[in-house]
Structure 1
Amino acid sequence: MSRFFLYLMALLYVLIGITHFARPEPFVKIMPPFIPYPLAMVYLSGAIEIGLGVLLLPAITRPYAAWGIIALLLAVYPANIQMAVDFYRQRHPQLWVALARLPLQFPLIGWAWIYTRRGG
């Protein structure tokens, strides 16, 4: 079962990373205004997600990829906050989705944490 969740995590990050290239607009929209070059940052974060997803698979790079995923989740957290703030201001019907994303980051960090140890 452990291998299943490892492969699932890797696949999810690769697919989400690909989405950054295939449909960058939703990601650009949630970028905080203080982030320069939002489209370039969306592409960069997508490339990083793809790379980290792939690097989760070999045992030798897995702990580094897991730490990278944790760092990435922390780095993109301001975009999740921005999305919630924007949706609140717009009285967006999907505000609940934006609010649900905020605490969801922490179980994702915990999931990545499992793989930070050698042999994880």
Structure 2
Amino acid sequence: MPRIPSSPVLLAGLLATAAVAHAVAPKQFDAIVPRSLPGTPRQWTYASGVAELALAAGVAHPRTRRVAALATAAFFVGVFPANVKMAVDARRGAPARRAVTLARLPLQVPLVLWARKVGRSATAV
């Protein structure tokens, strides 16, 4: 089994990078927001970007790391339906796009495990 990373700095960087991507290129994220959610896809895109930025800050700071990392794990579970929607939408697309969207689905598991590991290894301050 692959080794799950434990670096809170890398996890915070991943979250911050994703947050910036939501702000800079929101259209690609709008497309994967499940239509069953209330409001507009753009609202959800920006809200998830803000959430990722807050989680990044929380994971980066030792005092909030434990709670923020566990919240990050929950966030990764919560956005899984968007990844499923992306894979479903790609069914009739190019084979390479289908492969990428399908490959993303199981990658959510190591992300959740990574966040949990960061939370468990955080020291109480």
TM-score using structure 1 length: 0.90
CA offsets, 1:24-79, max 9 Å, x none? 01111111110222110110000010110111122210011111111111111100
Whole-angstrom CA distance in 2 between matches of 1:91 and 1:18 = 27
The structure showing larger relative contact order (alpha-carbon pairs under 8 Å, at least 6 residues apart) is 2
- Contact 2:19 / 2:50 at 8 angstroms: preserved in 1? yes
Letter in 2 for 1:22: V
Structure 2: segments with no counterpart, 5+ residues = 1-5
CA-atom RMSD in angstroms = 1.5
For the residues of structure 1 that align with 2:37 and 2:94, how far apart are their CA atoms?
Answer: 23
Q: Which amino acid aligns with 2:33?
A: M
The runs of 4+ residues in structure 1 deviating greater than 6 Å are none
Structure 2 distance, partners of 1:67, 1:6, is 12
Q: Work out which of the residue numbers 89, 110, 114 in structure 2 matches 1:111.
A: 114
Match of 1:15 among 14, 17, 20: 17
C-alpha distance in structure 1 between counterparts of 2:51 and 2:102, whole Å: 25
Q: Gapped runs of 5+ residues in structure 1? A: none
Q: For residues 70-92 of structure 1, give each alpha carbon's deviation from its aligned partner in whole angstroms, at most 9, with x where no partner exists.
A: 1111111100000000101x233
Matches of 1:92 and 1:5 in 2, distance apart? Answer: 35
2:70 pairs with 1:67: yes
Contact 2:69/2:115 (8 A) holds in 1: yes
Say if 2:52 is the partner of 1:49.
yes
Percent sequence identity over matched residues?
36
Instruction: Give the residue type in structure 2 aligned to 1:12.
Output: L
> Corresponding residue for 1:38?
41
Give the paired residue count: 116
TM-score in terms of structure 2 length: 0.86
State the partner residue of 1:85: 88
